[in-house]
Amino acid sequence: MRLLGQSAFVGWRIHVKNGSMTEYARPYVEPMVFRDDSGAVIEHGNHWADRGGTPPEDSYSVVSHPERFAPLHTVATALIDHLASTYDVGVEEGHHVTLDLLHPPAADETVRAVRLTPCDDACAPVVIVLTDFPGVRVFAGVLFSAVYPSCGCNACDERWDTVADELEWETFAIAGGGLTEEVSEPRRAKWTYDSGHGFVKGMGQTVSYRLRALDGESERSGQSRAEDVPARMLASARAKLDAVTATSPGGNWLPWSTRR
C-alpha cells in the first residue's frame, strides 16, 4: 500500500460505474508566471532547491502571490459540474449548505458553496466550498473535511496543479465509495509523562477516517479527538455511521450511483 504523493496523478480521470463510462477532464489553465522582489521567476514547488529544500524561517506564515491558487476554483467548478451531471445526486447551492458543518468557512470567506447529496443515504454527501483565499474546502460524510491548499504559505511552496491532483483524487475517491469514518466508543483521555514533553494528554474518544483510491493502491487516513466535536453533532455522526455500517459490510460509505 502506498500513500498518495503530490505528483501521483495527472489531471484527468475515467470512471466505470454501473456499467457506464464517464470521463472528467481538468479544464485548461493558462500558465502563470510569478516573480520575487528581485524580479526573478519563482519556481513554485522547487523554490528552495538551492537551500537543500529547507525554507528560511521568515518564509513561514507568509503568503506571497496567493492568486497562484486561483485555478483551483476553475477545477472545483468543473468537478461540481461533472459530479452533478454524472451521478444521481441532488444539488443545492448557497452559503446555508455549510451551516451544519464542523468548522465551516465564514460567509464573507465563501465565494460559492454547493452540496451534492446522493439519492442513497448510505452514500456520503459532499459539500464543496470555494473560498476567497483563493482555495477550496471539501466536506464529506459526517465529519470529514479537507483544505486545498493545505497551507499556502511561502515555506510550504505548494503548486496549484499538484494541489488540484489531490482535490480530484479525494473527490473521486469519496464518490467511488472509498471513504470510511468512525467514531470510537466513549473513553476518557489518559495523561502520561514524557521526558521530552512533560505530561501529555492521550486521545481518549476519537474521530477517524480512511480514504482509499478507486484502484485500491493509494490511501490516506487521519484521527482527531472527539472532544473537539460538539456533543450533539458527535451523537448524530455516530447514528448516521451506524446506519451506514448496517448497509455496508465494510463500513465504508457506498459508491454513488450514476444517472440512468
DSSP states of 24-56 = EEPPP------B-TTSPBP-TTSTTGGGTT---
Mind listing the pLDDT tens digit for each residue in 129-168? 999 999 999 999 999 999 999 998 888 888 999 999 999 9
User: Is the pLDDT score of 6 beyond 60?
Assistant: no
The residue-averaged pLDDT of 117-123 equals 97
pLDDT score for 240:
97
Nearest to 64 by CA among 190, 205, 158: 158
pLDDT score for 192:
75
What totals of helices (H) and strands (E) does the chain contain, helices first?
Answer: 3, 13
Nearest to 151 by CA among 132, 174, 133: 133
User: Is the pLDDT score of 11 beyond 70?
Assistant: no
pLDDT score for 22:
62
Mind listing the pLDDT tens digit for each residue in 66-94? 999 999 999 999 999 999 999 999 999 99
Spatial distance between the Cα atoms of 118 and 126, rounded to a whole number of angstroms: 9
- Rounded (5°) CA angle 242-237-124: 80
The predicted model scores a pTM of 0.85
Average the pLDDT over each of 18-27, 96-105, 132-141, 146-155 and give the range with the smallest value.
18-27
pLDDT score for 18:
41
